[in-house]
Amino acid sequence: MFQLLRNGAPRTRASLVAETGQSRSTVAARIDALRSVGMLTPAGEATSTGGRPPSTFAFDPAARIVLGVDLGATHARIAVTDLAGEPITHVDEPLAIAEGPDRVLTWVAETGSKLVSRAGRRMDELAGIGIGLPGPVDHSTGQPVNPPIMPGWGGADVPAQLHARLGVPAMVDNDVNIMALGEHRTMAPDVDDLLFIKVATGIGAGIIMDGQLRRGAQGAAGDLGHVTVPGAGEIPCRCGNTGCLEAVAGGGAIAAHLRELGASVESTHEIVDLVRSGDVAAGQAVRQAGRDIGSVLAASVSLLNPARIVVGGILAGAGEHLLAGIREVVYQRSLPLATQHLRITPSEAGPQAGVVGAATLVIEQYLAPSSVDALIAAKEVS
């Protein structure tokens, strides 16, 4: 019954009886139980059809709060959200993931605690923390697995370390997976089949199929950046292979190409700034990166047949140059049936996608039927 109420629409006892097929006494008892743990709140009165207007009840997303964390190679974003995934307050700061798990996770815990206070909430209202990391993650354990840009993180028990610091459950996933989840939940909930492509220092994909995030057998699904680009040759990649998409079209590869042309550019942000300023060489380089990404995506489109491809990450800030290159090759090389209704769009959630997706990891677990039953049982015992 609670899952019906999670969309926030107020319902009467009679409407819940009709929707669930349960008796009035069972529905009334469940409403009382859900109110006792703060999950439901009175929502006024419905229109009367004769006699006293019936009371309505709705899900109260403010009952608890969640911390969502999106860590990149050189940045960190943390947000406090409610149980609907709506951000209440957030902070963005430079932070190098290469500083290691002790330094980074201590910063996460300390900054998260300060944000909870800034939001006017208490730590005992925190349902959990979700975090996205810029590398491969074994989702079943929450541990990074040989992450190429995260020295010292391999095998780190991130959930246990965060739990020790904050005293709440912690859930961990790859950064592009949480971005895909955030984009889907907030901007495209009606799109059941979606690929989210993050283009920044690295390149990766989050896969939504049948409305669910798909991680693969070991959580390695979507590692687009280490697929070989046709005709790329022997360009070395930091993963140890050659000709990988990241080594050809990632932010570092584009910056290196522009330096060869005489530009003074080091970071992915500087590439975006050059493109926005109208630099022709930078625009051409980003468009070619889009073509290279498109050459790999075309196979993914034929294999998975998504309804939408969403492009996010820092390089997506370069605008139509990147998207035009991707569209050019995907529409040319994929089967007509697969691209007949395919849309390739920039991310609408933007920087919020990662923290909302990270929070969603926690919310989906916290509000699952078994978890809600456990909350009610604990309340009854106390």
Superfamily name and number for 189-347: ATPase, nucleotide binding domain (3.30.420.40)
Q: How confident is the model at residue 351 (pLDDT cuts 50, 70, 90)?
A: confident
Q: How confident is the model at residue 377 (pLDDT cuts 50, 70, 90)?
A: very high
The answer to whether 178 and 167 have CB atoms below 8 angstroms apart is no
Q: How confident is the model at residue 350 (pLDDT cuts 50, 70, 90)?
A: confident
The answer to whether 328 and 281 have CB atoms below 8 angstroms apart is no
On the question of pLDDT at 363 being above 80, the answer is yes
Q: Give me the pLDDT at residue 106, please.
A: 97
The reply to whether 189-347 shares the fold of 64-179+353-381 is: yes
Number of separate helices (H) and strands (E) present in the chain:
14, 15
Q: How confident is the model at residue 341 (pLDDT cuts 50, 70, 90)?
A: very high
Q: Give me the pLDDT at residue 135, please.
A: 87
DSSP, collapsed to helix, strand or coil, labels residue 138 as strand
| Mean pLDDT to the nearest integer, 225-232 | 90
At the topology level of CATH, where does 64-179+353-381 sit?
Nucleotidyltransferase; domain 5 (3.30.420)
CB atoms within 10 A of CB 90: 18
Q: Give me the pLDDT at residue 122, please.
A: 96
Length of the chain: 382
Q: Give me the pLDDT at residue 44, please.
A: 75
- Nearest Cα to 338, choosing from 302, 373, 284? 302
Q: Give me the pLDDT at residue 46, please.
A: 65
| Mean pLDDT to the nearest integer, 1-19 | 89
Q: In angstroms, rounded to a whole number, what is the distance separating the alpha carbons of residues 219 and 175?
A: 12
- Nearest Cα to 183, choosing from 322, 346, 61? 346
pLDDT digits (tens, 9 = 90+) for 117-162: 999 999 999 999 999 999 889 988 999 998 878 999 999 999 999 9
Question: In which order are the strands placed within the sheet that holds 65-71?
Answer: 87-94, 75-82, 65-71, 126-133, 170-174
Q: Give me the pLDDT at residue 260, please.
A: 95
Distances (CA, A) of 196 to 11, 249, 275, 302, 351: 35, 17, 23, 16, 13
Maximum CA extent, the chain: 80
On the question of pLDDT at 300 being above 80, the answer is yes
The answer to whether 312 and 198 have CB atoms below 8 angstroms apart is yes
Q: Give me the pLDDT at residue 49, please.
A: 60
The answer to whether 301 and 336 have CB atoms below 8 angstroms apart is no
Q: In angstroms, rounded to a whole number, what is the distance separating the alpha carbons of residues 133 and 73?
A: 9
Distances (CA, A) of 377 to 26, 374, 382: 16, 5, 9
* ∠ CA 213-214-217, rounded to 5°: 145
Q: Give me the pLDDT at residue 198, please.
A: 94
| Mean pLDDT to the nearest integer, 325-351 | 93
Q: Which residue has the tokens 């020790």?
A: 164
pLDDT digits (tens, 9 = 90+) for 39-93: 998 887 766 565 567 889 999 999 999 999 999 888 899 999 999 999 999 999 9
Percent of the chain past pLDDT 90, that is, above it, reads 79
Q: Across the strands, what pairs with 69?
A: 78, 131
Q: What is the dihedral of CA 181, 182, 187, 193, to 10 degrees?
A: -10
pLDDT digits (tens, 9 = 90+) for 247-260: 999 999 999 999 99
Q: Give the CATH class of 2-59.
A: mainly alpha
Q: In angstroms, rounded to a whole number, what is the distance separating the alpha carbons of residues 66 and 126?
A: 6
CB atoms within 10 A of CB 370: 8
State the DSSP code for 215.
Answer: -
Q: Give me the pLDDT at residue 50, please.
A: 57
State the DSSP code for 46.
Answer: P
Q: Give me the pLDDT at residue 25, please.
A: 94
Q: Give me the pLDDT at residue 167, please.
A: 96
Q: What is the 3-state secondary structure (H, E, C) of 324-365?
A: HHHHHHHHHHCCHHHHCCCEEEECCCCCHHHHHHHHHHHHHH
The answer to whether 178 and 130 have CB atoms below 8 angstroms apart is yes
Six-digit token string for 338 = 């697969």
* Domain extent listing, the chain: 2-59, 64-179+353-381, 189-347
Q: Which residues of 210-242 are buried (b: 16+ CB within 10 A; e: fewer)?
A: eeebebeeebebbbbbbbebeebeeeebeeeee
Six-digit token string for 314 = 């820092």
Q: In angstroms, rounded to a whole number, what is the distance separating the alpha carbons of residues 2 and 249?
A: 46
| Mean pLDDT to the nearest integer, 186-212 | 94
- Nearest Cα to 159, choosing from 372, 375, 365? 365
Q: Give me the pLDDT at residue 344, please.
A: 96
